[in-house]
Amino acid sequence: MNELIAFYLDSVINELESNAGSRATLSQSYETYRILEPPKPTYFSFINDNALAAEWWHARIRLLQLLSETSSYDVNTVLSRLQPYEQELVSEMIILNGRQERHEEALKLLTHGLGDYNTAISYCLYGYASIHRRATPGAPPVSHSQIPTRPEQSRMFGHLLKEFLTIEDLSQRVERTSELLERFGGWLDVADVLAIVPDDWSVDVFSGFLIQTLRKLVRDKAESDIVRALSDAQNSQTSSKLVEKRDEYGATFERVA
pLDDT in tens, 197-240: 998 888 888 787 887 777 666 666 655 655 665 565 566 556 56
Residue 78's nearest CA partner among 1, 17, 139, 133 is: 1
Least confident of 71-80, 118-127, 190-199, 235-244: 235-244
- In this structure, the number of other CB atoms found within 10 A of the CB of residue 148 comes to 18
What distance in Å separates the CA atoms of residue 155 and residue 150, rounded to the nearest whole number? 9
Average pLDDT, the chain: 85
Residue 182's nearest CA partner among 196, 203, 198 is: 203
Q: Residue 178 corresponds to which amino acid?
A: S
Q: What is the DSSP letter of 112?
A: I
Residue 177's nearest CA partner among 201, 155, 200 is: 201
The Cα diameter of the chain in Å comes to: 104
Does residue 57 carry a pLDDT above 60? yes
**8 Å CB contact between 86 and 23:** no
Q: What is the pLDDT of residue 232?
A: 58
Cα dihedral value 182, 187, 191, 194, nearest 10: -30
Q: Return the SS3 of 152.
A: helix
Q: Is the dihedral of CA 139, 141, 145, 150 positive or negative?
A: negative
Instruction: Give the model's confidence band at 70: pLDDT under 50 very low, under 70 low, under 90 confident, else very high.
Output: confident
